[in-house]
Amino acid sequence: MKSIILKSQSPRRKELLSKMGYEFTVKVYDCDETMDKNKTPFENVKNLGLKKASINKEEDYGAILIGCDTIVVLDGKIYGKPKNELDAYHMLKALSGKKHEVMSGLAVIYKDYVYNLTEVSEVYFKDLSDKEIYDYIATKECFGKAGAYAIQGLGRNLIDHYEGSLNNIIGLPTEQLEKIIGEINGMED
């Protein structure tokens, strides 16, 4: 079994990778997450996953390097992590009663092999009253989450239904990652 390095400080990604049954090391580096205005959200998140996996790759050569970034997209606009309660309110109000996309840019680097893809899931929000939005914000769960909600937590109460990978919505497209790691582990050293 080849060693795995997860280049993310996200507790959700760590938890999902652990649930997959892999042992891994976490290494986090500063990464410029500025989006290119000339690219689509799909392309931007794909590039960001690759950028994260690529940081200091020479130092970690021979290990399986995993980089991932997840964004929420509504009508072509990217919703990142809320800066404060007002920002969280505006995000949740915008998502209320609508379908949005959750995109994860996943990159896996092993020696000279590079896998880079974007997984897309769709989330349908219930029509939310201001009271429901403020009550959710009061839990503080919205902070540190793209789109200001956590589907794996109390945020599930805001959602009517979703289509696609739940783990992708949480922050790591595990089904795709499993295929890639399986392919890499099948390679000769």
What pLDDT score does 48 carry? 95
| Cα separations in angstroms, 114 against 57, 105, 183 | 11, 13, 12
What pLDDT score does 119 carry? 97
Angle at 145 between CA 3 and CA 121, to 5 degrees: 75
Catalytic residue among 69, 75, 135, 160: 69
| Cα separations in angstroms, 110 against 53, 104, 119, 127, 156 | 10, 19, 20, 44, 35
What pLDDT score does 188 carry? 79
User: Is 69 labeled as catalytic in the residue annotation?
Assistant: yes
Amino acid at 145: K
The pairing of strands 25-26 and 99-110 is: unpaired
Asked if 119 and 174 touch (Cβ cutoff 8 Å), the reply is: no
Q: How many CA atoms lie within 13 A of 166 on its CB side?
A: 7
Distance CA 49, CA 83 (A): 22
Residues in CB range of 59: below 8 A, 6 or more apart: none
What pLDDT score does 17 carry? 97
State if pTM tops 0.85: yes
Distance CA 150, CA 33 (A): 21
- pLDDT tens digits along 140-183: 999 999 999 999 999 999 999 999 999 999 999 999 999 999 99
Tokens of 102: 């959750």
| Cα separations in angstroms, 148 against 15, 74, 92, 133, 186 | 20, 13, 7, 10, 39
What pLDDT score does 1 carry? 74
pLDDT in tens, the chain (189 residues): 799 999 998 999 999 999 999 999 999 888 888 889 999 999 999 999 999 999 999 999 999 999 999 999 999 999 989 999 999 999 999 999 999 999 999 999 999 999 999 999 999 999 999 999 999 999 999 999 999 999 999 999 999 999 999 999 999 999 999 999 999 999 877
